[in-house]
Chain A
Amino acid sequence: MLLIYCPYCKQYRDEEEFSYAGEAHIKRPQNPLAISDESWGNYLFFRKNPSDVHHEMWNHSSGCRQFFNVARDMITYEIKETYCISESPKIEKYKK
């Protein structure tokens, strides 16, 4: 049962207030009609699914309703940092 820091509310809140919104930092192709089926398929369905730190989006759906990013360890579930959608992760490499 995760405890998630909402960077907009600036509070730690219970997981039940949030909903998961998938891998973060996936950019929609600029001109979808110009790219191949393969590139489009990769954008649509293929995910990193790492077993170490995952950058993912969460929505504070029962709170401020803002989407934001979370960097979370996939084994320990430890949250390394949370940051706003427009931001990049502050920590580049995470210690194992």
Chain B
Amino acid sequence: MEKYSAFKLLKHSFSHHENWKRVWRSVSPKKSYDVVVVGGGGHGLATAYYLAKNHGIKNIAVLEKGFLGGGNTARNTTIIRSNYLWDEAAQLYELSLKLWEGLSRDLNYNVMFSQRGVLNLGHSLQDMRDIERRVNANRLNGIDGHVVFPDDIKKIAPLINISKDVRYPILGASYQPRGGTARHDAVAWGYARAADALGVDILQHTPVTGINCSEGKIKSVQTNYGEIFAKKVACVVAGNSGVLASMAGFKLPIESRPLQALVSEPLKPCLDTVVMSNAVHGYVSQSNKGDLVIGAGVDSYNGYGQRGSFHIIEHTLQAICELFPSFSRVQMNRQWGGVVDTTPDACPIIGLTPIKNLYMNCGWGTGGFKATPGSGYVFADTVANGTPHKLAAPFSIERFYTGALIDEHGAAGVAH
């Protein structure tokens, strides 16, 4: 891999940047692989990278039906935080956050992880109880964060409205300074480049159309290149997980829903942190390009259309104008939808499946982007060893039979 640096940038400027090495190779698939990762989004690419880097498996292919990072990796609002309520989720997201903190250097690719802090606002006494509970739990889990009150919030986000004379006044917030945002596309590209350098074959425009098993064991996957044999198959396909599971003959406790987001036109810096509110139902940050990046809750119905309903956008912008009254004069530039794979407890499913050597990592719902490194890390470990990683174990599909759900609706909420 050609190392990126300011020096290299200078060096290449003398040759008009014509001679940079390709970010990843253009390859044809081999007949068989040790591991086939289905899904070339952030999670899939991270899985391949950690399989190669941490577990020494080199014969890996990543199959992506469209272009790399073209699913939810390309469509999310890039928020990163680890202030989840339950120990199981908090520790998984905290592993992820720690990996984020070194990710640009680990991948030698600037993913622009910007630790500008995340505010989760509270607007009722119960919100504040929940915030206190979550912040206390986070602290004891070794995760940063504290409770802040309206005057502190105003200092962090000067345009926010902390007046008591509004419908749902801001009573306080949790603040996680280590949280922030990253450049979403760069995460996929950075992982792809690093995985490729470790020998991983990346195949774009290669949809998996069938999963072949024999005697309850995975054998191969069917693709436009024909049958590709695999000792192990790891599925990381978010909203399409149900479709893959049904190919393999089992069901998942997952429903795929549209989740919408929007951006404003680029503006001069006006918001240096991430602000989220469950009760007033919206969240906003400002990208490095200057766009306000805004989102809210999931559309109520199932759908794979990458489109949602307009009234969701109306409610979201009502919430944003309520929190930031001067944003009312800003203009929406673009609006889009993704397909999120939601589970009954707003937590992912990571682990084994009824088919031997077929592994699933899905159900990240609205929380997937921030989990990318951690998800790839524990999933790679799970796939390599054939048993769930310690942090992944609570997220097995068994919990839907035993009742050991990890209900993160409060912390996930609108929140991403």
Contact with B along A36-52 (1 / 0, CB 8 A): 01101110111111110
| Contact call A77/B242, Cβ cutoff below 8 A | no
Hey, which chain A residues are within 8 Å of B344, CB to CB?
A: 44-45
* 21 contacting pairs across A/B (C-beta < 8 A): A1-B309, A1-B311, A2-B301, A15-B311, A19-B300, A20-B300, A20-B302, A38-B401, A40-B401, A41-B400, A45-B400, A46-B251, A46-B253, A47-B242, A47-B255, A49-B254, A49-B256, A56-B301, A74-B302, A77-B303, A77-B307
Closest CB of chain B to A55's CB: distance in Å?
11
Does A76 lie within 8 Å of B305, measured CB to CB?
A: yes
Chain B: residues with Cβ within 8 Å of the partner, total of 24
Q: Is A75 an interface residue (CB 8 A)?
A: yes
CA distance A56 to B303 in the complex (A): 11
Which residues in B have their C-beta under 8 angstroms from that of A38? 401
With both chains docked as a complex, state the minimum distance between the C-beta of A6 and any C-beta of chain B, in angstroms: 16
Instruction: List CB contacts (< 8 Å) of B198-257 with chain A.
Output: 240, 242-243, 246, 251-256
Bound-state CA distance A15–B311 (Å) is: 9
Taking CB atoms, residues of chain A closer than 8 Å to B28 are: none
> Is B402 part of the binding interface, using a Cβ–Cβ cutoff of 8 Å?
yes
Query: Hey, which chain A residues are within 8 Å of B256, CB to CB?
Result: 49, 51, 74
Q: Is B310 an interface residue (CB 8 A)?
A: yes
Give every chain A residue within 8 A of B305 (Cβ-Cβ). Answer: 74-77
| B:162-185 near A, CB below 8 Å | none
List the 7 closest pairs (A to B, CB-CB), nearest first.
A41-B401, A45-B253, A49-B242, A20-B300, A20-B301, A46-B251, A45-B400
A residues near B402, Cβ cutoff 8 Å = 37
Chain A: minimal CB distance from B131 (Å): 28
Scan A14-49; emit 1 where CB is below 8 A from any B CB, else 0.
011001101000000000000001101110111111
- Interface residue count on the A side (C-beta < 8 Å): 27
Cβ distance A32 to chain B, nearest Cβ, rounded Å: 14
Q: Which B residues are CB-close (under 8 A) to A20?
A: 300-302
Contact A46 B252 (CB under 8 A): yes
Q: Whole-angstrom distance between the alpha carbons of A74 and B257 in the complex?
A: 10
Query: Considering the complex, which residues of chain B in the window 292-326 have a beta carbon less than 8 Å from any beta carbon of chain A?
Result: 300-305, 307, 309-311
B365-387 interface bits toward A, Cβ cutoff 8 Å, 1 = contact, 0 = none: 00000000000000000000000
Contact (Cβ within 8 A) A47 B303: no
A74 engages B309 (CB within 8 Å) = no
Please pick, from B240, B243, B251, the residue contacting A47 in the complex, using a CB distance under 8 A: B251
Separation of A4 and B394 alpha carbons in the complex (Å): 40
The answer, among B254, B307, B401, for a CB contact under 8 Å with A37, is: B401
List B contacts of A37 (CB < 8 A): 401-402
Cα–Cα, bound, A67→B344 (Å): 22
- Does A54 belong to the interface (CB within 8 Å)? yes
For the A-B complex with A15-B311, A76-B305, A77-B303 known, give 4 more contacts whose Cβ atoms are closer than 8 Å. Answer: A20-B302, A37-B401, A45-B400, A74-B305
Asked if residues A42 and B251 are in contact (CB atoms below 8 Å), the reply is: yes
Residues from chain A with a CB closer than 8 A to the CB of B303 are 74-75, 77
Residue contact A2 to B300, C-beta cutoff 8 Å: no
Q: Is A47 a contact of B253 with CB atoms below 8 Å?
A: yes
The smallest beta-carbon distance between A81 and chain B, in angstroms, is 16
Nearest Cβ on chain B to A67's Cβ, whole angstroms: 14
Q: Determine the residue in chain B with the shortest Cβ distance to A45.
A: B253
A51 with B311: CB separation less than 8 A: no
Closest chain-A Cβ to B261's Cβ sits at a distance in Å of 17
Task: Say how far B318's CB is from chain A's closest CB, in angstroms.
Answer: 14
In contact, B309 and A48 (Cβ under 8 angstroms): no
Supposing A15-B311, A51-B242 touch, asked if A46 and B400 sit within 8 A by C-beta, the answer is yes
Residue from A1, A16, A19 having most chain B Cβ neighbours under 10 A = A1
Of all chain A residues, which has the CB nearest B258?
A77
Q: A75 — which chain B residues lie within 8 A by C-beta?
A: 303-305
